[in-house]
Chains A and B, each alone.
Chain A
Amino acid sequence: MTTNTDLFKDRKFLAIIGDENTVSGMLLAGIGQVDVINERTEKNFFIVDAKVDNPMIEAAFDNFTVERKDIGILLINQHVAERIRYKLDDFKSPFPTVLEIPSKDKPYDPEKDTILKRVKLLTGDE
């Protein structure tokens, strides 16, 4: 495990990819950060509604995990994570930490959680 401080010293924001209700709650808590850089708006949240397709979610995920270096924790609704599951499975970097959270309509299912899948893998390959 690396202890290089460059990996995490600027990771000061939480980001979220989720449905409208979850994002509203998180914005109400005060995690929202919107910057305008070179006439381009950069938000740390991405709302997934009926119009959003999988490539857009993938792009948001890549933006928060690969392109942006200021995200420390990424929250993602589990039903949204299911749509880009292979991306989450491939994501091995320690930063940002990706956490799956339930949504208003879909309860949390431990069977689908990436971290608990890793547990199965570790305890099953002895």
Chain B
Amino acid sequence: MDEIPKPPAIDLLLFRYLDLIDSYMTLTSLLTRVHTAMHVNLAKANFVAPHGERFGPERFPTTMEARWRVDVTVADYEPPARAEVAEEPAKAAGDKDAEDESCSLSGEDSELGGPSILELVRIIKLGGGIPTFRVINRHSEDADLPTDRLSLNPHRGDSAGAGGERNVDHAENEDESDDSYEKVDPFPAAQADPGDTTTAKAIPPRKKPSPHDPLFWISALPTQTLRTAQSQAVVFVTEVVPGLATVAAEMRAVEIKIRRLRKHRAKGLKDKSSQEAQSKDVKAPDVKPTSS
């Protein structure tokens, strides 16, 4: 006879499941916020675009290559391990700038009194799930992505829209002090006085636009709002979506386990009750009706 599983096994799984539901809901609200902020900035970029241009799908080239790829790793359910956000190409290439940017990304929002999105996702992204999804960059030279200008703090602003607007301002202010990312300066020569050496030194060398950056596919001189929209879209794709996918996959795995244990328990209980019934029948004396 199969051994009846102890109730705590199911209880523990249900407890874990509740934890996952909470993570899923938190990530979903985060997703909504990032998504809303991205739309707001994209709408602003469309509004200020010259000649009534729109940054729609038709602006993108007819053939393109994805700069992000999904990396799926499947591990056994136990023992649980912590999933990490992937920034492997940057580290592999020894890109110190990218590393610094990721550090500042997690640090800058903490100073404002709450965990950053990356920290929140790291906390929420519970390990041990199968499979674990990560979205990583295909091109190591693109490692210095504009995620350094992440501007969305879930602890700032009550409504998504208001939070998004405030964060846009924050991103703009932030950009003034941020020299690590290329800035579009339409008149660099006009602003710099040739005789003033200090001004000339202060201008950072402009980086060449990456050929893999979709921002430069659709606009030669992208506006700040378009850049911010892209930053938020990158956070959406690389942080929130893989986190949600991992949690969803783990939920599915836990669901399957719970169902199996429930079936197993029901079968065990049924077997036990039938055995008890059989033993009662054996113990009961056979009373045969006497025929007269």
Contacts and interface: CB of A to CB of B under 8 A. Distances in A.
A99 interface: yes
Contact of B69 (A12, A45, A113): A12
Given A8-B72, A30-B66, A102-B35, A21 B255 contact: no
Interface in B213-256: 213-215, 218, 226, 229-230, 233-234, 236-238, 241-242, 244-245, 248-249, 251-253, 255-256
A28 B244 contact: no
A1 interface: yes
A24 B42 contact: yes
Interface residues of B, number: 62
A113 B67 CA distance: 29
B258 to A, nearest CB: 7
A88 to B, nearest CB: 13
Contact of A33 (B57, B65, B252, B256): B65
B209 to A, nearest CB: 13
Interface string A104-123: 10011010010110110010
B246 to A, nearest CB: 9
A122 B35 contact: no
Contacts of A107: 32
16 contacts: A3-B74, A9-B72, A27-B64, A29-B214, A29-B234, A30-B66, A30-B213, A32-B60, A33-B65, A36-B63, A94-B249, A94-B252, A95-B72, A119-B17, A119-B21, A119-B251
Interface of B: 17, 21, 24-25, 28, 31-32, 35-36, 38-39, 42, 55-57, 60-72, 74, 76-77, 130-131, 133, 135, 212-215, 218, 226, 229-230, 233-234, 236-238, 241-242, 244-245, 248-249, 251-253, 255-256, 258-259, 262
